[in-house]
Amino acid sequence: MKMYMKSIAVDDQSKALDFYTNKLGFVVKHDIPLGEYRWLTLVSDDDSDGVELGLEPNAHPASRAYQEALMADGIPVSAFSVDDIDAEVAKLESKGVEFTQPPVKAGGATMAVFDDTCGNLIQLVELHV
């Protein structure tokens, strides 16, 4: 068994698509209209066959409540790995990405957290292995 997709709820799929592609550099894998919403998945630009990131509408009340509770408590909904966190943070900040936590070393990793503008906090992680 392999992981296929990681989904996150977003408050606006079009805004999320813009942020995740133009700010973070992901590329579209699937963009299929499904009535009011879309089956919208992205992949890393250097791993087109890797795990897909699904940008799911937060239309269900439970999804919206979960998303709002995590944001209110400052808890990231997901984590992305990077090879050089300082370089990645600098690159993203130059594109206007707002960090709620600058890089902090903790155990065998350095972590930072940014706001995806779509209702979520996302953690960046550089592992020191």
Q: Give the residue numbers spanning the domain of 43.
A: 5-127
Mean pLDDT (the chain) is 97
Please write the tens of the pLDDT for every residue from 15-59.
999 999 999 999 999 999 999 999 999 999 999 999 999 999 999
pLDDT band at 129 (very low <50, low <70, confident <90, very high): confident
What's the predicted TM-score (pTM) here?
0.94
CATH code: domain of residue 11: 3.10.180.10
Share of the chain above pLDDT 70, in %: 100
- Helix H, strand E, coil C: the string for the chain is CCCCEEEEEECCHHHHHHHHHHHCCCEEEEEEEECCEEEEEEECCCCCCCCEEEEEECCCHHHHHHHHHHHHCCCCCEEEECCCHHHHHHHHHHCCCCEEEEEEEECCEEEEEEECCCCCEEEEEEECC
Overall number of domains in the chain: 1
